[in-house]
Chain A
Amino acid sequence: MDILLNSLASVFAPATAAFALAAIGLNFHFGLTGLLNMGHAGFMLLGMYGYAISTQNGAPIYVAVLVAIAAAAAFGLLLGWPTLKLRGDYLAIATISAAELIRYLGRSNSLQALTGGSTGIRGNDFKFTFEELSPLPSENITILFWTNHGSLSSSWWLHIVAWVTVGLFALLFWLLARSPWGRVLKGIREDEDAVRSLGKNVYSYKMQALVLGGVIGALGGVLWALGNSVQPDSMGRPTTFWLWTLLLLGGAATVFGPILGSMVFWASLVAIKGLASAFIPTSVLSPVELEPFSLVLVGITLMCLVVFRPQGILGNKRELAFND
C-alpha cells in the first residue's frame, strides 16, 4: 500500500513537473526540429545558477527568473551559432561537451564564491523569495493520503506552481506546433534540404527552436532547484539521458508525451525501488545497490524503446525524428 501511495505521490511531485517541463523543452529540440541535443542538463543547470545566484544577490523573483531565462538563451545562441550547421552526431558531441563544461566550471574551486563549488548552493539561500509569495498557510497540510508543508521546500504551493507552469508550456507547445512556424520546424525534421529549397532560412529556424527549448529547460531547472538545491553533479550527463528516456517513453513530438513520460518514469522508478526493497532479500540486493539497479533498468528501457517502439506511448509512427 505504501509503495502504491509513494508511486502516486511521485506522479504529481514537483520534481516530476520539473522534468516534464525540461522534457517539453527537449521536445521542441528533438520532437519538432530533430536536433540531437545531448546537453539539456546544461540548460537546466544554467537556469538553476541564474535563478539562485541572482536571488542571493538580492534580486526579486521576477528578475531572478528573467536572469535564468537570459542565461539559457545566451547559452543557446552561443552553442547553436557554430554547431547547428554540423551533422547530427557532431551536434550531439558538441552539446554534451558544452553541458559538461558548464558543470565542470560550476563545481570548480575557482568560481566557488559564486557557485559554491562542488557542494553547490543550499536551498535556504535562494528559496525564500518564492516561499514568501505562497498564499497557503505555513503548516503541514494533508490532502487525502499525502502530507506536505503548505509553503516550504517541496510544498503544496510548489506543486501548484510547477504543474500550472507545465500546463502553460504544454499549451504553448500545442499552439506553436500547429502554427506555420511549427510546420516549418517539422519540415526541417523531415527533410532539411526540401525546406531550404522553399526559401526558408533553416539555420535561423533551428536557432529559434534551440533557444526556445533551452529556455524552457532552464525553467525546468528552476522548478527542480526550488524543490531541492543547486547541486552541479545532480545535473550531469545521466540527467540528460533520463530526459531522453522519458521523452521517448511518452512519445516525442506529442503534446502530452513529455508529461505522461515524466509521470510514468518517476512513478515506476519509485515503484521499482519500493518493490525491490520489499521483495528481494537484502542479502541479494542491499539498499545501497537499489539505486544503481533501478538505473540499469532505466538504461535498458531506453535501449528497448529506441529499437522497438521509437514513437513511445502516445506517438505516431509516421512522425519520427530519427531520419538523419
Chain B
Amino acid sequence: MTNRIDRRVLLRALIVLVVAAAAVTLLGALGSPAAASSTDAVAHATVAAGDATAGIAQADTAVHADAVTTEGDSGTNRYVQQLVNGIVFGLLLALASVGLSLIYGTTGLSNFAHGEQVSLGALLTFFFTTQQPVSVPFIPVEFTIGWPLIPSALAAIALAAGSGWLQDRFLWSPLRRRRVSIVQQMIVSIGLSLALLNFIQWWFGAERQRLTTSIDTRIDFGLFQVGQTTLWSVLISLLCLGGVAFFLLKTRTGRATRAVSDNPSLASASGIRVEKVVRLVWIMATGLAAVGGILLALYDNAAAFDVGARLLLLMFAAVTLGGLGQAFGALVGSLVIGIAVEMSTLWLGTDLKYAVALGILILVLLVRPQGILGRAERVG
C-alpha cells in the first residue's frame, strides 16, 4: 500500500459507514414509535443517572455521571468539560496502550491478555489497601492488610511487573524458542486472557471495588472542573509517559529496544541481546498497564474485574490508530480515542461511548491500516 490513501478504499469505507449508520438509525426509528414516550423518559433518566439501571457486572462505568449532572449549575461549558475529561481519559489510556504497542513492536504479538494486566494492577491495589478482610484463592484464611494507598499502589505495580517477567520467562520466551507461529501465540494470549479474567474474578469477586473512600474535591477552572486526584493522576501519567519517551530516545537500552522493533534479526546480528530487550519490554509494559489501571480506577472511583477487558479494545483502537508498534503513535491514538469517547456522550447515550471507539477502530482499519504515524507497508 502506498502512502497516498487509496481512493477506492476510502469510498468503500464511506459506503460501509453510511450503510451501518443507516441501519442503526432505521432500527432506532423502528424501535422508538412502539414505546415512544416511555423509552425516551427511561433513556433520559438513565443518562442522568449515569447508566445506573444497567447495574449488572458488565454494566458500563457509572462514573462520569458527575460530569453530566454537574454541568449547568456552575459556569462550566459542557463541550470544554467533556474535552478535558477526554484528554484525561486519553492520557490514562495511553499508559496501558504504550505497553501493548511496545510488545507488538518487539515481538509482533497482539497481546489479548493486556487488558487483564490493567485490572490486575487496580485490584491488587484494592487488595493491599482495603480495610475489609481479604483472602487468596484456595487458602481458606481471611486477613486484613489495609495499607495506605500509595504503598499499596507501589506494591501492586511491583507485583504486576513481576507477573510480566514471569509470563515472559515461562510462557512467551519458550514459545518463541519453539518457533510457535505468531497466530498461535495470539490464540495463546486469548486463552491466557480468559484464564486471567476469571482468575481475577475468582480472587477479588465480581463487585466493583473502591480503592479509596475519600471523596475527590473538585477544582473549578471556570470553563471546566477537574478533581484533585485526577490532576495528580494526570501528572503521574505525564511523568511515566515522559519517562518512557526518555528511555526510548536517550538511553542505550531504549535505542536497542527501538532497533529490535525495527528489525529483530538485524538487531540481533549487530550484537543486541534481543531476548533481554523483550524481557525488559514485558516488565515495562505490564508495570505501565498496572499504573494505568490504578489511575483509571481512581478516576472512575471503582474498578471491577472486567475493567481491563472492556478497555482492551479501546487500547487496540488507540494502538492501531497510532500505528501498530509505534510507541508514540499509541499516545496520539489514545488521546484521539479518549477525546472521541468522552465527546460522543454529548450526542449519544453513555452506554454507547465505547461503541464509538470501536467504530473508529474499524474505520481506521479500512482507510489507513498502518495508522497515523505508522510506516506505509504492505499489511494485506
Contacts and interface: CB of A to CB of B under 8 A. Distances in A.
Contact of B140 (A96, A109, A284, A298): A284
Q: Which 9 A-B pairs have the closest CB atoms?
A: A299-B195, A302-B191, A114-B31, A299-B194, A303-B191, A113-B31, A292-B202, A292-B198, A295-B198
B355 A105 contact: yes
B191 A299 contact: yes
A304 to B, nearest CB: 8
B190 A88 contact: no
Interface string A66-110: 000000000000100111011111101110111011001101111
Interface string B344-380: 0000110110110011011001100100000000011
Give chain B's interface residue range (CB within 8 Å of chain A): 35 or more
Contacts of B313: 96-97, 100
B199 interface: yes
A181 interface: no
11 contacts: A82-B362, A86-B365, A89-B182, A97-B358, A109-B42, A111-B27, A241-B190, A241-B194, A300-B191, A322-B181, A323-B181
Nearest to A89: B110
Given A82-B9, A306-B188, A118 B54 contact: yes
Contacts of B359: 101
A197 interface: no
Nearest to A83: B365
Nearest to B182: A324
Contacts of B187: 244, 248, 302, 306
The secondary-structure label for the interface of chain B is helix
Contacts of B31: 111-115
A307 B188 contact: yes
A42 to B, nearest CB: 11
A288 B349 CA distance: 33
A310 interface: yes
B190 A284 contact: no
A105 B353 CA distance: 10
A289 B203 CA distance: 8
Given A82-B9, A107-B351, A113-B34, 20 more contacts: A36-B186, A81-B16, A82-B13, A86-B365, A90-B320, A93-B110, A93-B361, A94-B362, A97-B313, A100-B358, A104-B351, A104-B358, A109-B351, A112-B35, A113-B31, A244-B190, A248-B187, A299-B194, A307-B180, A307-B188
Nearest to A290: B202
A233 interface: yes
B110 A92 contact: yes
B217 interface: no
Interface in A285-324: 285, 288-289, 291-293, 295-303, 305-307, 310, 322-324
B235 interface: no
B272 interface: no
A27 to B, nearest CB: 15
Interface string A12-49: 00000000000000000000000010100000000000
A251 to B, nearest CB: 15
Interface string A104-136: 110111111111011000000000000000000
B316 interface: yes
A102 to B, nearest CB: 9
A98 B191 contact: no
Given A117-B54, A284-B140, A307-B188, A322 B183 contact: yes
Nearest to A49: B27
B66 to A, nearest CB: 19
Interface in B35-82: 35, 39, 42-43, 46-47, 51, 53-54, 56, 58-59
Nearest to B202: A292
B294 interface: no
Nearest to A298: B194
Interface string B89-111: 00000000000000000000010
B184 interface: yes
Contacts of B19: 78
Interface string B287-325: 000000000000000000000010001001100100000
Interface string B169-197: 00000010010111110111011111111
Interface in A126-158: none
Contact of A87 (B178, B184, B196, B380): B380
A254 interface: no
The residue in B51, B59, B140, B196 that gathers the most chain A C-beta atoms within 10 A of its C-beta is: B140
A185 B188 CA distance: 25
A93 B202 contact: no
Nearest to B108: A89
